[in-house]
């Protein structure tokens, strides 16, 4: 037995490290072990698999492909990831991918290794490099006998050795992908792998940047100022939502992640700025689904001396421009629908929309009458819901989905809009609109309330709702009321949901597809599996339960490997074998 306490500190550390190393090795797959052995052999050959020095390229793959005729016969220096390899004795082909695209490279042993020493080709490229490794090359642009644009490699530099094998997506002659990295949860958790192997995913995020750049250009060209406001706030104001709460130790006080930046931007209007906007990261401690993430991006804009009619016109012009900048046309495909962002958009008062789609005229109804109407229409309600929330539920359940083309829903009841100016023609309503696209809210805008007395009364009404149990009612922000008391000019403001806009303009039904790193449930403990277990587990994910004999045939494993594989899956509670009247069936746990 190793006498742990009778040795030096240095020996103890080495012993603990060896235990950790052995434990980690037990968890590695066969391929991962081989790659680590290759890593060590590279070092033994004097090659640093993670060099610190700059590798200076002179071109990108997309530029070489685009300007092939001009570059043919000339030297280029490229860097990228090995995506595939075809080893053929003294010569080999590989596919190299950088941020701009993919290209074939040709490696000839005697061109790469001009002298007697052929180690770089025979040992390093053929044996120690793998798919997924990152390399730099210097070579000559040429076209193969079959017409493939390629680079003949004269010099190769190892830039990063990959220790995990990446998924290899194969495409057959008919263009059908096999072994695709398509499991949604895996893609969202390991976005880096998703971007590596699924080229269309990168295009979504490139387009997202085009969209935000287009919005910035539109606003900057008008002289509007982009600003930054606090994310940590003492009072979570500007929206009706449940906040995330944290604690500031030095100040010994609670703070909230912002649910909106509205009140701070309006403080800047009070301070004398004519127009300010912000791309704001907001946080709401509410449900998660395909269209909602607890962290999301909103662009909010506030312009002095304007009203909601002006804001509707401006919004139309903005979104038409953004659609054209992103897709080359104001018309886009969203699921089964064609959405046309070309201005102008229809304007429909919310109470008129409810009357048309439900047959109920709710304009003069009180809380009890509204609650009864909702119940008759099959909408679930409770006693904590006031008039504003009842109308919101009614419209959301029965009307919203009818508005596929961009439509401004206008003139909301005062109870729904505590920060909005009273309608100039009807004191029961407010000068507010929501923009609906494809049956979903894309933007929310007001003629902003700038009467400090009215604003305080609205805040107090929200406080009453909070006392009734509404955990999304607004907090009273007395400093904002004080700011209004100094005088805020007539102002119009809007918030546009950037994530949802990107979903529309990239034809993605899930918000997770347009966020690099969406919020996920805690990851289940990873269970190390052999390559055979992974292959059978993948088969089960596509079809479960399945006859044991059928699954074994699909796996192509020998009897010995099959027995070990099925025992491993059942032991780790990843699969279960059930004995039924129709035979033995295997299914995922």
Residues 447 and 312 in one domain: yes
Residue 49 scores a pLDDT above 90: yes
Residues 554 and 463 in one domain: no
- β-pair type (546-547, 583-588): antiparallel
State the DSSP string of 222-281. TTPEE----SEESS--SSSSPPPEEEETTTTEEEEE-S--HHHHHHHHHHT-SEEEEEEE
359 is a domain residue? no
Number of domains forming the structure of the chain? 4
| 286's tokens | 């509410």
Residues 39 and 65 in one domain: no
pLDDT interval class at 3 (50, 70, 90): very low
Comparing CA positions, the residue from 160, 181, 180 lying closest to residue 35 is 160
pLDDT of residue 472: 63
| 162's tokens | 């990959």
Q: What is the 3-state secondary structure (H, E, C) of 337-386?
A: EEEECCCCCEEEEHHHHHHHHHCCCCCCCCHHHHHHHHHHCCCCCCCCCC
Residue 10 scores a pLDDT above 80: no
pLDDT interval class at 237 (50, 70, 90): confident
CA 88 to chain centre: 41
pLDDT of residue 475: 80
Residues 221 and 321 in one domain: yes
Residues 451 and 306 in one domain: yes
pLDDT interval class at 5 (50, 70, 90): very low
Mean pLDDT of 65-71: 97
Mean pLDDT of 28-40: 94
d(CA 502, CA 490): 31
Per residue in 374-412, is it b (16+ CB within 10 Å) or e — as a string?
beeeebebeeebbbbbbbbbbbeebbbeebbebbbbbbb
Residue 2 scores a pLDDT above 70: no
- Over residues 494-526, the pLDDT tens digits come to 999 999 999 999 999 999 999 999 999 888 776
CATH number at residue 314: 3.30.930.10
pLDDT of residue 332: 97
Mean pLDDT of 104-120: 96
Cβ contact 73:132 at 8 Å:
no
Q: 456, 482, 514: which is the final residue of a domain?
A: 514
Residues 286 and 337 in one domain: yes
Helix extents (H) in 45-183 = 61-66, 68-71, 109-112, 119
pLDDT of residue 503: 98
CATH number at residue 105: 2.40.50.140
Q: 123, 144, 178: which is the final residue of a domain?
A: 178
Mean pLDDT of 361-390: 89
302 is a domain residue? yes
358 is a domain residue? no
φ, ψ for residue 216, nearest 5 deg: -60, -45
- Over residues 314-352, the pLDDT tens digits come to 999 999 999 999 999 999 999 999 999 999 999 999 999
237 is a domain residue? yes
Cβ contact 214:322 at 8 Å:
yes
Residues 36 and 82 in one domain: no
Residue 470 scores a pLDDT above 70: no
391 is a domain residue? no
Residue 442 scores a pLDDT above 80: yes
- Over residues 159-214, the pLDDT tens digits come to 999 999 999 877 777 777 667 888 999 999 999 999 999 999 999 999 999 999 99
190 is a domain residue? no
d(CA 351, CA 372): 17
- Over residues 277-290, the pLDDT tens digits come to 999 999 999 989 99
pLDDT of residue 409: 98
Q: 469, 488, 514: which is the final residue of a domain?
A: 514
User: Percent of the chain, pLDDT > 90?
Assistant: 78
pLDDT of residue 512: 96
Residue 225 region by backbone torsions, left for phi larger than 0, else alpha for psi between -120 and 50, else beta? beta
Residues 242 and 310 in one domain: yes
Mean pLDDT of the chain: 92
Lowest model confidence (mean pLDDT) among 11-20, 394-403, 447-456, 461-470: 11-20
375 is a domain residue? no
Mean pLDDT of 148-166: 97
State the DSSP string of 150-163. EEEEEEEEEEE--S
pLDDT interval class at 8 (50, 70, 90): low
Torsion angle of alpha carbons 115, 119, 125, 126, nearest 10°? Answer: 110
How many Cβ atoms are within 10 Å of 503's Cβ, its own excluded?
A: 26
Report helix, strand or coil for 19.
Answer: helix
101 is a domain residue? yes
Residues 65 and 116 in one domain: yes
Residues 105 and 223 in one domain: no
| 328's tokens | 């080359």
φ, ψ for residue 493, nearest 5 deg: -135, 155
Residues 448 and 559 in one domain: no
Residues 456 and 338 in one domain: yes
Mean pLDDT of 473-484: 89
What's the full length of the chain, in residues? 589
- β-pair type (275-283, 295-304): antiparallel
Q: Which domain holds residue 16?
A: 4-44
Mean pLDDT of 396-422: 93
User: Percent of the chain, pLDDT > 70?
Assistant: 94
CATH number at residue 560: 1.10.10.10
| 433's tokens | 């609109």
Cβ contact 430:412 at 8 Å:
yes
CB-facing half-sphere around the CA of 270: CA atoms within 13 A = 21
pLDDT of residue 6: 46
Report helix, strand or coil for 210.
Answer: helix
């Amino acid at each position: 037995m190793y006498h742990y306490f009778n040795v030096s500190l240095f020996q103890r550390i080495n012993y603990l490290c060896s235990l950790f190393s052995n434990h980690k090795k037990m968890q590695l797959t066969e391929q991962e072990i081989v790659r680590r052995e290759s890593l060590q052999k590279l070092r033994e050959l004097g090659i640093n698999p993670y060099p610190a020095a700059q590798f200076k390229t002179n071109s990108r793959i997309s530029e070489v492909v685009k300007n092939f005729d001009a570059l043919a016969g000339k030297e280029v220096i490229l860097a990228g990831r090995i995506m595939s390899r075809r080893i053929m004795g003294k010569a080999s082909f590989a596919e190299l991918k950088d941020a701009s695209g993919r290209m074939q490279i040709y490696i000839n042993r005697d061109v790469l290794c001009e002298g007697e020493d052929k180690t770089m080709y025979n040992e390093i490229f053929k044996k120690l490099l793998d798919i997924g490794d990152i390399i730099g090359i210097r070579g000559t642009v040429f076209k193969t006998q079959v017409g493939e644009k390629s680079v003949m490699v004269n010099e190769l530099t190892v830039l990063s050795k990959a220790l995990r094998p990446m998924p290899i997506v194969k495409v057959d002659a008919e263009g059908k992908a096999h072994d695709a990295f398509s499991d949604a949860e895996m893609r969202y958790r390991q976005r880096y792998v998703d971007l590596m192997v699924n080229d269309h995913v990168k295009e979504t995020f490139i387009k997202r940047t085009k969209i935000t750049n287009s919005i910035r250009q539109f606003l900057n060209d008008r002289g509007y100022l982009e600003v930054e406001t606090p994310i940590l706030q003492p009072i979570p104001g500007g929206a009706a939502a449940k906040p995330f709460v944290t604690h500031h130790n030095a100040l010994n006080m609670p703070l909230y992640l912002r649910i909106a930046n509205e009140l701070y931007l309006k403080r800047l209007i009070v301070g004398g700025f004519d127009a300010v906007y912000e791309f704001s990261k907001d946080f709401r401690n509410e449900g998660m689904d395909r269209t909602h993430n607890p962290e999301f991006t909103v662009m909010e804009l506030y312009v002095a001396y304007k009203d909601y009619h002006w804001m509707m016109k401006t919004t139309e012009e903005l979104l038409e421009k953004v659609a054209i900048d992103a897709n080359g046309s104001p018309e886009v495909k969203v699921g089964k629908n064609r959405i046309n962002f070309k201005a102008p958009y229809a304007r429909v008062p919310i109470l008129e929309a409810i009357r048309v789609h439900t047959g109920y005229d709710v304009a003069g109804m009180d809380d009890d009458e509204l609650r009864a109407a909702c119940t008759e229409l099959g909408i679930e309600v409770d006693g904590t819901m006031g008039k504003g929330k009842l109308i919101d539920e009614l419209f959301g359940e029965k009307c919203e989905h009818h508005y596929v083309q961009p439509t401004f829903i206008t003139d909301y009841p005062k109870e729904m809009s505590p920060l909005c100016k009273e309608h100039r023609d009807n004191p029961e309503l407010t000068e507010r609109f929501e923009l609906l696209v494809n049956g979903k809210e894309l933007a929310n805008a007001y003629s902003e309330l700038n009467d400090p007395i009215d604003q305080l009364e609205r805040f107090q009404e929200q406080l009453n709702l909070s006392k009734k149990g509404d955990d999304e009612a607004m907090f009273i922000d007395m400093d904002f009321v004080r700011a209004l008391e100094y005088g805020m000019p007539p102002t119009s403001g809007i918030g546009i949901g950037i994530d949802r806009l990107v979903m529309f303009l990239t034809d993605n039904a899930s918000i997770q597809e347009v966020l690099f790193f969406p919020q996920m449930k805690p990851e289940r403990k990873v269970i190390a599996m052999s390559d055979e277990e992974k292959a059978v587990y993948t088969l089960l994910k596509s079809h479960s339960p399945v006859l044991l004999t059928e699954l074994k045939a699909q796996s192509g494993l020998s009897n010995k490997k099959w027995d070990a594989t099925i025992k491993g899956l059942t032991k780790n509670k990843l699969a279960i074998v059930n004995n039924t009247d129709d035979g033995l069936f295997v299914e995922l746990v």
